Amino acid sequence: MKEVTTMPYISFLNSWKNHDLKRVTEMIDDTVAAYYINDLGEPIALNKTRLIQLLATRMAAVEADPHSQWNFEMIHRAHIHGNQMIMFYTYTNENQDYQNTPKTLITLTFGESSKNNNINQIKSVYITPNVTDV
């Protein structure tokens, strides 16, 4: 089994926080398996184009609001067949009552780096909005 020594999620989160959509796009595999979990708990499949559009829309909203900023809270890191998986919360507005801060839970898996750009590719994405702690 291949040992993973890099941490591609750090580069990914840094690019996201800095609204570097070009870099984020480069990190997402063309055949990514992506799902947005709606308020009914139903997964909606997204292709890479739709995933990037969703992220671009959200980035633009955060950029336009001077009171918003990206916050990332790592929940779990693991290796799957020598590749990395991460789970984290993201939210843009902090609430003094942390448990009532609406968050989005995101799970990503990274695969091998692309031969074209030597960047570990994101192979799967699961996005679950409106998560609150219990």
Token couple for 82 = 């020598």
Neighbour-count burial for 35-59, b at 16+ CB within 10 Å, e otherwise:
bbbeeeeeeeebebeebbeebeebb
pLDDT of 48-105, one tens digit each?
Answer: 999 999 999 999 999 999 989 999 999 999 998 888 999 999 999 877 787 778 899 9
Residues 6+ apart with CB under 8 A from 100: 132
Domains of the chain, CATH where assigned: 8-111 (3.10.450.50)
Q: What secondary structure does DSSP assign to 38-74, as a single string?
A: -TTS-EEEE-HHHHHHHHHHHHHHHHH-TT---EEEE
Token couple for 88 = 């984290």
**Measured distance CA(112)–CA(6) in Å, rounded:** 11
DSSP 100: G
Spatial CA neighbour of 125 closest among 104, 109, 112: 109
- % of residues, the chain, pLDDT over 70: 91
pLDDT of 77-93, one tens digit each?
Answer: 999 888 899 999 999 98
